Amino acid sequence: MDSISLRLIAINKNPPHIDAFTSTCGGFIIGIVSIISNLLYLFLMLLS
């Protein structure tokens, strides 16, 4: 994984002082984005 993904995961694992709703939604969105990017990465690796 690239450094941006790792940074997002680190931010998601250690969120700043925000309410639980924002934290949960942010984690959900980051999770979906990371899954999609991983699938795209695998797809590109299979094509090449």
Read off the pTM: 0.46
Q: How many whole angstroms separate alpha carbon 40 and alpha carbon 19? A: 32
| Counted domains in the chain | 1
Q: Does the pLDDT of residue 37 top 70, yes or no? A: yes
Q: What percent of the chain has pLDDT over 90?
A: 10
What residue numbers bound the domain in which 14 lies?
Answer: 3-47
More confident residue, 5 or 48: 48
Q: Are 6 and 38 in contact (CB under 8 A)?
A: no
